[in-house]
Amino acid sequence: MKLLRYGPAGQEKPGVLDAQGRVRDLSGHITDLAGSALLPEALARLGQLNIDSLPLVPGTPQQGLRLGPCVGAVGKFICIGLNYSDHAAESGMAVPPEPVVFNKWTSAICGPDDDVQIPRGSVKTDWEVELGVVIGQGGRYIAEADAMRHVAGYCVVNDVSEREFQIERSGTWDKGKGCDTFGPLGPWLVTPDEVPDPQHLSLWLEVDGQRKQDGSTATMVYPVAFLISYLSRFMSLQSGDVISTGTPPGVGMGHKPPVYLRAGQTMRLGVQGLGVQTQRVVQA
Ligand code: ZN
């Protein structure tokens, strides 16, 4: 299933994409695509529905129907840094002996095609296409062998980053990672039955039609199952938590000389099988 949330920001309703690419309303079955609606038994119930019998939502994302972030009420938005060896190299940093973990504030979360705002005072706003993992069944001390049973689905994430705030302003990376609109999620939450191997997905990003990133999750240093197990040693993972698993090479900071986003530009990015995001860049 390609699950989604549609409607105005803050008032999204749950939906699902049908075989023709139209949006069907799920609000007769769940109140939101969030929390307990992401548990395995709840997703199995949705999987039994005849999608073509669900109410058709007028309009399409191509015709202006807004898609919201594909998960609601996210409790934790956890990110992994330097998880592709070639991206670590372009950043001038070593592949870390254990995963680098940082956070994005949940107020950064926005819809997949919402405008991305360059924060005031920013001169180094950058892009990062990533595979997002959404937790279904929560847990603590999850064994790597059991980890994939905790996945509700996958989505595209743009880990938008302000490099000066991140690296040159003292302290952790978080100041440059959690600004408002720095976390587009979606368009869809794709259930694992449609993603047989999350470690063989191509992912790419373009700025104004120019290809900047072109990678594969096959070159991740720490794969999804390991990351779930690893993170669950430090925190309990809960339904609706989002893990963004790192970015392949081609970020603006890695260009020689570096290039950063300007208001008026457009980002397009996608992960194989998980859909495409399109964001206009604006000044906050
Ligand atoms: Zn990232």
C-alpha 127 to ligand 1 mean position (Å): 8
- Averaged pLDDT of the chain: 97
The CATH class for the domain spanning 68-283 reads: alpha beta
C-alpha 21 to ligand 1 mean position (Å): 29
Close Cβ partners of 144 (under 8 Å, ≥ 6 residues apart): 225, 226, 228, 229
From residue 240, give the alpha-carbon distance in Å to each of 33, 65, 256.
Answer: 9, 24, 38
The answer on pLDDT for 87 being more than 90 is no
pLDDT digits (tens, 9 = 90+) for 171-201: 899 999 999 999 999 999 999 999 999 999 9
Residue 84 and residue 22 in contact, taking contact as beta carbons nearer than 8 Å:
no
The pLDDT of 233-254, averaged and rounded, is 97
C-alpha 98 to ligand 1 mean position (Å): 16
The answer on pLDDT for 60 being more than 90 is no
The domain locations on the chain are: 68-283
The pLDDT of 52-59, averaged and rounded, is 96
Q: pTM of whole model > 0.85? A: yes
pLDDT of 280 reads 98
Query: First-to-last CA distance in the chain?
Result: 35
pLDDT of 88 reads 84
C-alpha 51 to ligand 1 mean position (Å): 34
Close Cβ partners of 255 (under 8 Å, ≥ 6 residues apart): none
pLDDT digits (tens, 9 = 90+) for 204-225: 999 999 999 999 999 999 999 9
pLDDT of 229 reads 98
Confidence of residue 90 (pLDDT cuts 50, 70, 90): confident
C-alpha 58 to ligand 1 mean position (Å): 35
pLDDT of 140 reads 98
C-alpha 81 to ligand 1 mean position (Å): 6
Instruction: Specify the amino acid at residue 7.
Output: G
The answer on pLDDT for 157 being more than 90 is yes
Confidence of residue 227 (pLDDT cuts 50, 70, 90): very high
pLDDT digits (tens, 9 = 90+) for 127-151: 999 999 999 999 999 999 999 999 9
